[in-house]
Chain A
Amino acid sequence: MDLYEHQGKELFARYDIPVPRGIVATTAEDAARATEELGGRSVVKIQVQVGGRGKGGGVALVDSPQRAAEEAERMLRDGFKGMPVTRVLCEELLPIAREFYTSLLLDRSTGRYLALMTAEGGVDIEELARTRPEAIRRVQVDPSIGMRPFHVRELVAALPSESRQGAADIIGKAYRMLLEVDATLVEINPLVQLEDGRVVALDSKVTIDDSALFRHPDIESLRSAFPIDPVEARAKEKGLQYVKLDGDVGIIGNGAGLVMSTLDVVAQAGGRAANFLDVGGGASADQMATSLEVVLSDPAVSSVLINIFGGITRGDLVARGVLEALERVQPKVPIVVRLDGTNAAEGRKILAEAQHPNIVSAATMIEAAQLAAALASGVAA
């Protein structure tokens, strides 16, 4: 789960990592009042779960409450990269002497934590990693010994000597936070040194491991702040993985790999997938019915492809679920069904006996994809 900047900074504050004074605003008037309170000037920042705000008009320096209101109004009205924006963060302006970058993250390739530090902050770190990798210090942290003083010394040696103490202090606290809140990423870009010498986290990017949220109900509850598509929310409630895409062939399958593969095969057949939907293992009739409802709630869908290879998932239950769903939703579009694996023969028999006018059976995955793509484009298959 990716946190908003202000949510990440609230965690920073809990761990005594210095952050600028900031106030969250959900309206233009609130942004003006916040800026007033911050001394009449502020930086207004869009709160979204993606990067690239600086270049994309998501950050504005303002010198009056009036200007803060104007910027906030624009941000809240226009959204960001196609996503709705419900809040901005107004922060005090600080006199910055230097900008650095630091991050702690889980390195998938080693299964260890990786700490990065560079004196060249405020930039596009991926660009820097490509062009001048030697400018970034990397330290691997073995989780069995944790972040040790020698790791920290190695990292902060990348910085001017007068910045090291403050940065070292922040690194230590950030590592503790990473472990305690089960984060897989804590990024501070930029990490700044002020003219008075203090080192402060000017931005935050924090990702929490979804699998660990069960032990952090306070962090889990932050999710309510994120705009979520109502259809995606409904799917999530039932334990389904649903991602809306922009084609017209609705896709339901079991297992992320098989569903992604189905998306690819549909594209090769000349179709465009309307969504990704993984019913998961052991899909029940009710889950299948909900899946169909979720997929059909997208008005762009003109055909549906159900591709199930049963391991834990049983074909007979899938077939019953499809029929149950058809009772519930009365679809107007054709539904291509391909069943294989555990109890597939029973499932195919149930569907054949039902003789439902909307159901089209397919013997193989490729045949199913071709049928679904052709039916979506209105070509008689």
Chain B
Amino acid sequence: MSVLVGRDTRLLVQGITGNEGTFHTRRNRDFGTNVVAGVTPGKGGQDVDGIPVFETVADAVRETKANTSMIFVPPRFAADAILEAVDAGIGVVVAITEGIPVREMAEVRAYLDGRSSVLVGPNCPGVISPGEANVGIIPGEVCTPGRVGLVSRSGTLVYQIVHELTRRHLGQSTCIGIGGDPVHGIGFIDALAMFSDDPDTEIVVMVGEIGGDDEERAAAFISERVGKPVVGYIAGFTAPPGKRMGHAGAIVTGSSGTAQAKAEALEAAGVKVARTPTEVAELVQVALS
């Protein structure tokens, strides 16, 4: 079993004819993902390796019953692409695109309110359920099926930590990259709730970084609602305040948002917090033994 993506996933790729779109569509399909359609305005009627391309998401859904979308559309058109997918009733929308203006994402968030679609991202590496489906750019070969659920703001830390887990034969149910943008779709709390309800996830790894208060709010949620063990990791202990570290999300301002404060909040909620990516895997191993 898995969350968000799995054997039932029927994937549609928005921006399938672009370089990255085509490249990752092939990789996801080779992994075993059921890719049923692509959308590129102006290129309807063409195909990519036999995958039919449609003009609109609505057309693609009608013809192929796609239920999941992956978005590789350039930043200035990406918010529109997300809205189009939600409007067409796509259940899970995974937006890989980096650099979408925040004002448009605020509008997207408002539109999502009260609708059943789930947005992952933007500016995220996607979601992978090893052995079932890969929707995004996480390298499938580092993963192995198992019972650890992973949620992370950072993409490359997903790879690093999954790699550490796999080396110790600790397989994963689903790995979710929620992305580092200030306004995004699902967050730690949503992912924790999903893993909590997933019978095949035994333990959850939560990977945060400096900035914002998502980790602190997740800590409160864990102590109230999550019955499964959680192992945490926070990047940015040595980041100086006021410096932007690449992500929109990764900036420490004032006294809040520091790695220290986040680690303390998580520990207070009973979460074991690792100090290195390697230690994450060690703590998971201990918790499961």
Contacts and interface: CB of A to CB of B under 8 A. Distances in A.
A256 B160 CA distance: 13
B286 interface: no
**Interface size of B as a range:** 35 or more
Interface in B235-289: 235-240, 242-248, 250, 254, 259, 275-278
Contacts of B137: 281, 311-312
Interface string B146-159: 00000011111101
B273 to A, nearest CB: 12
A260 B156 contact: no
Contact of A257 (B75, B102, B157, B213): B157
B204 to A, nearest CB: 18
B217 A109 contact: yes
Contact of A258 (B76, B102, B106, B160): B160
B1 interface: no
B18 interface: no
B107 interface: yes
Contacts of A261: 154, 157, 160, 233, 235-236, 276-277
Contacts of B159: 258, 309-311, 340-341
B244 A273 contact: no
Interface string A202-221: 00000001111011000000
A144 B107 contact: yes
Contacts of A112: 106, 109-110
B212 interface: yes
Contacts of A126: 254
B156 A255 contact: yes
B213 to A, nearest CB: 6
Interface in B197-253: 207, 209-210, 212-214, 217, 233, 235-240, 242-248, 250
Given A212-B101, A259-B245, A264 B235 contact: yes
Most buried by B among A214, A257, A341: A257
B250 A365 contact: no
A369 to B, nearest CB: 9
A260 B110 contact: no
Contacts of A253: 156
Contacts of A276: 239, 243, 245-246
A184 interface: yes
B83 to A, nearest CB: 12
A211 B100 contact: yes
B103 A257 contact: no
A109 B214 contact: yes
A96 B243 CA distance: 35
Interface string A310-347: 11100000000000000000000000000011100000
B260 to A, nearest CB: 11
B127 interface: no
Contacts of B107: 143-144
Contacts of B180: 256-257
A179 B76 CA distance: 16
A239 to B, nearest CB: 11
Contacts of A278: 245-246
Nearest to A213: B101
Contacts of B277: 261, 265, 365
B125 interface: yes
A144 B114 CA distance: 13
Contacts of A4: none
A85 interface: no
A300 interface: no
Given A50-B242, A264-B238, A309-B159, A111 B154 contact: no
Given A212-B102, A257-B209, A311 B160 contact: no
A76 interface: no
Contacts of A254: 156
A111 B245 contact: no
11 contacts: A113-B106, A211-B75, A256-B154, A260-B154, A261-B160, A261-B235, A263-B239, A276-B243, A309-B159, A341-B142, A341-B163
10 A-B pairs with least C-beta separation: A257-B154, A255-B156, A256-B246, A111-B109, A258-B156, A212-B101, A257-B157, A260-B235, A144-B110, A241-B246
Given A144-B110, A311-B139, A341-B159, 9 more contacts: A211-B75, A211-B102, A214-B76, A241-B246, A255-B155, A257-B207, A260-B209, A261-B160, A276-B243
